[in-house]
Amino acid sequence: MSSPDEGGSRERPALARLTGIPDAVFADDYWGEKPLLTRARDRFDDLFSADAVDELVAERGLRTPFVRMAHEGSVLATSAFTSSGGFGAEIGDQLDSAKVLREFAGGASLVLQGLHRTWAPIAAFTRQLVADLGHPAQVNAYITPASSRGFDPHYDTHDVFVIQIAGEKRWTIHEPVHEHPLADQPWTAHRDAVATRARETPTIDATFAPGDVLYLPRGWIHSAVAQGGTSIHLTIGVRAATRFDVLQRLLAHAGDDPELRRPLALGVDHLAPSFQAEIDATVAAATALLERVDAGDVGSAMERSFEGTTRPAPVRPLATAELLADLAPATRVGWRDGLPAHVRDDADRVHIVLPDRTIALPAEASAAIHALTLADQAAGDLPGLDLASSLVVSRRLLREAVLVAR
């Protein structure tokens, strides 16, 4: 459920667990600007472990691209660690645990991708972190054998939080050669500069132990080597929205402006000095457009973009269907975590606006709906409704996967 951040201040438990410092300090001093290394305050073994790796590899039937392997900086062909699942599961890109063992024992690193979709504890933590940050996030695990380098020095085009789960890993971190890179500005476009910077004195050169957490803004150059045993770390990638994204939403209104739709001069020569006049006229028209654009329109577009890159908490279809068949009035129900929805009232209806549909209920249900957006309620005792009506509304919203049983 989208909700305002009153006064810009609220609890951010997942972020606080990662940084160990006040949110305001992190926001002002580190976010998007410089690394933060927090030494072990928490083991994070409730999120992930070596046993979790073995279960995912051996039991879950993972397929590419949810897994990849690399050796000394080079990504292995998928055939080196995948195969068919046999009768009834013949698809050939499934993880083969025996092949993974062979490659891992030979020094290859294993990368489990998209754990915010495949491992429940990480999925729940990531949903909270996304709510804390207001930016989408995803999680990979890197499992590295002793003294394996993994990947060459590089930078990412997204911010990351690194959580050391098991073993030790030495991280070497250098300042950017290209600040705040966008998604289409990868490190390979600056390969020589990255290699040169990686030979200079690092900003951070430290061995991470279990429970250590690193925040690294995008663009910061890094590489890592496991120390003396198998290393497991989580990398939480955060796709932070930028002012460039805001500008793109602003310029989306350019097609509504007749001055910006006006043709260039007849016989225009793009290489002649006279073309500067066309540029000046375009800048003037764009400046006037930007001054007219309503902030609410841009904010709504940014919110839709955010909602399109995040997923709400999953629902359990069979358990929910069984619950609907005999919903007890005392059952606690609440808004589905992370569900992008907005409530709108008119004269005779209350509307729940979802990304893919709008649910309309009688106006008498308005108080109940607004109360549900704030706190869990008893299914048979919703504000403003009698027992029968409360159960009707609760069943409808459980069936629509707007509410879940607590």
Whether the per-residue pLDDT at 7 is higher than 70: the answer is no
Rounded mean pLDDT, 240-251:
93
Nearest-angstrom CA–CA distance, 330 and 379:
6
Query: Over the stretch 64-107, which tens digit does the pLDDT of each residue have?
Result: 999 999 987 789 999 999 999 888 888 889 999 999 999 999 99
Nearest-angstrom CA–CA distance, 258 and 254:
9
CB atoms within 10 A of CB 109: 25
pLDDT band at 225 (very low <50, low <70, confident <90, very high): confident
Rounded mean pLDDT, 282-307:
90
pLDDT band at 9 (very low <50, low <70, confident <90, very high): low
Rounded mean pLDDT, 100-127:
95
Whether the per-residue pLDDT at 392 is higher than 80: the answer is yes
Query: Over the stretch 19-72, which tens digit does the pLDDT of each residue have?
Result: 999 999 999 999 999 999 999 888 899 999 999 999 999 999 999 999 999 987
Query: Over the stretch 358-390, which tens digit does the pLDDT of each residue have?
Result: 999 999 999 999 999 999 999 999 999 999 999
User: DSSP assignment of 9-71, as one string?
Assistant: ----HHHHHHH-S-HHHHHHHTTTTS-EEE--S---TTT--HHHHHHHHHHS--BTTSEEEEE
Is residue 69 within 8 A of residue 75, CB to CB? The reply is: yes
Query: Over the stretch 315-358, which tens digit does the pLDDT of each residue have?
Result: 999 999 999 999 999 999 999 998 989 999 998 999 999 988 99
pLDDT at site 149: 63
Query: Over the stretch 136-179, which tens digit does the pLDDT of each residue have?
Result: 999 999 999 886 665 789 999 999 999 999 999 999 999 999 99
HSE value, Cβ hemisphere, 13 Å, CA-based, for 120: 5
CA distances in angstroms from 219 to 25, 34, 174, 228, 298, listed in the order given: 21, 10, 9, 29, 27
155 contacts: CB under 8 Å, gap ≥ 6: 176, 177, 178, 181, 187, 194, 218, 219, 220, 221, 222
* Residue 323 parent element (H or E): helix 317-325
pLDDT at site 6: 40
Residues 77, 78, 79, 81: what is their CA dihedral angle, to the nearest 10 degrees? 110
pLDDT at site 229: 86
Domain 6-238 has CATH 2.130.10.10: no
pLDDT at site 335: 96
Nearest-angstrom CA–CA distance, 227 and 212:
15
* Nearest residue to 112 via CA among 182, 49, 42, 155: 49
Give me the CATH topology for the region 317-405.
Outer Surface Protein A; domain 3 (3.90.930)
pLDDT band at 8 (very low <50, low <70, confident <90, very high): very low
Taking the domains of the chain in order of start, what are their residue ranges? 6-238, 243-308, 317-405
pLDDT at site 85: 87
pLDDT at site 171: 95
Whether the per-residue pLDDT at 209 is higher than 70: the answer is yes
